[in-house]
């Protein structure tokens, strides 16, 4: 019973963390969590490539699968993202010899924020590249200089050149 109660009490806190209207509202140095997530979605068709970017960020050239993606974004700009099994999809159109593998040696974290100056595609801020294993495992931790008005942030894991492989918003 105590465990169920603890889970029920935690739900409003998680919802409140997502409901904060802008990152700037919590950028008072307290490091308040603005976005916390336990799931990410891999890029799928038609979002692969440049034809249908999400907020101006193109998708990876082929579909990707992800076993687990979790992390958080704080008001002070700290981004933490852990991914496991971020690999090319195990289906066509991925060539059979690449299915279920990560051919990219580094990933980057990206945060896209809608802003008053860019209300349609937003502004994307990226981390430095981090090592990624052949199994698609990586950990990203970096403090980013986010726009003052960061509305509706989306977190992505990208290639070194910025094409997204996994995103929040599943």
Measure the CA–CA gap between 61 and 58, rounded to whole angstroms: 9
Sign of the Cα pseudo-torsion (100, 36, 150, 27, in order) = negative
Name the pTM for this structure.
Answer: 0.82
C-alpha dist (Å) from residue 19 to 15, 44, 49, 60, 121: 6, 27, 31, 29, 20
Indicate the domain borders of the chain: 2-167
Q: pLDDT in tens for each of the 170 residues of the chain?
A: 444 433 333 434 443 334 334 455 544 455 799 999 999 999 999 999 999 999 999 999 999 999 999 999 999 999 999 999 999 999 999 999 999 999 999 999 999 999 999 999 999 999 999 999 999 999 999 999 999 999 999 999 999 999 999 999 86
């Amino acid at each position: 019973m105590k465990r169920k109660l603890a889970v029920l009490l935690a739900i409003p806190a998680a919802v409140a963390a997502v409901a904060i209207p802008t990152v700037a509202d919590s950028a008072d140095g307290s490091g308040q969590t603005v976005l916390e997530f336990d799931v990410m979605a891999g890029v799928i068709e038609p979002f692969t490539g440049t034809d249908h970017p999400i907020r101006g960020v193109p998708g990876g050239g082929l579909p990707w699968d992800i076993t687990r993606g979790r992390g958080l974004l704080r008001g002070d700009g700290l981004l933490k993202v852990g991914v496991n099994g971020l690999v090319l999809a195990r289906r066509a159109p991925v060539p059979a010899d690449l299915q279920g593998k990560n051919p990219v040696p580094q990933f980057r974290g990206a945060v896209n924020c809608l802003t008053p100056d860019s209300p349609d595609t937003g502004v994307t801020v990226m981390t430095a590249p981090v090592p990624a294993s052949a199994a698609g495992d990586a950990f990203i931790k970096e403090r980013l200089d986010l726009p003052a008005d960061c509305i509706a942030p989306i977190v992505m894991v990208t290639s070194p050149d910025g094409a997204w492989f996994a995103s929040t918003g599943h």
